[in-house]
Structure 1
């Protein structure tokens, strides 16, 4: 099973560094993906190589899916929303950090869910 981080240009990488570190002790198979499989330039200026494009992920192999914050315009798309909705139907753990939560909200993932993002 894979724990997937969706990274994108201007994503806030520091938000997932500690999470990634602690998850590495739980024998997770962590995967970094981007929309097109190309490297991304994070908000902090890091160039991050990814393992694969989003579409190459096999949904039945995903244990969790994490979206960091940052400038979410690149990933706040109908395609990503549809992907998240498909993950939700499979009851896969989906997490957002900071502005990443807005992507979840826009995709309807947080409907009827109590969270720190709820009003």
Structure 2
């Protein structure tokens, strides 16, 4: 999208952050992080015999290849929860009403966007 520069008739391309600010659009990264946190709470409350919980919380067999370990899905949830100040998010997620309040707090927090 193009926009005028200082009303002088010159035009330039606008950056995405300018368009988000101009149209008050929510940031997609923030929406993804909040959705991931909501799903994490759902998985925590599942029974131990259900497949999503076993796959998410379980330890895989075998060894990893050399180099830096890949970031797990739970690691990114931990990072997001630490950004809003929640340390034991697994215990908070078990209590559904408290978890909803935590997610509402996350929606108003600005530290969830990846730089």
> What TM-score does the superposition give when structure 2 sets the normalisation length?
0.26
| Greater percentage in helix | 2
Q: Which is strand-richer, 1 or 2?
A: 1
What is the TM-score normalised by the length of structure 1? 0.26
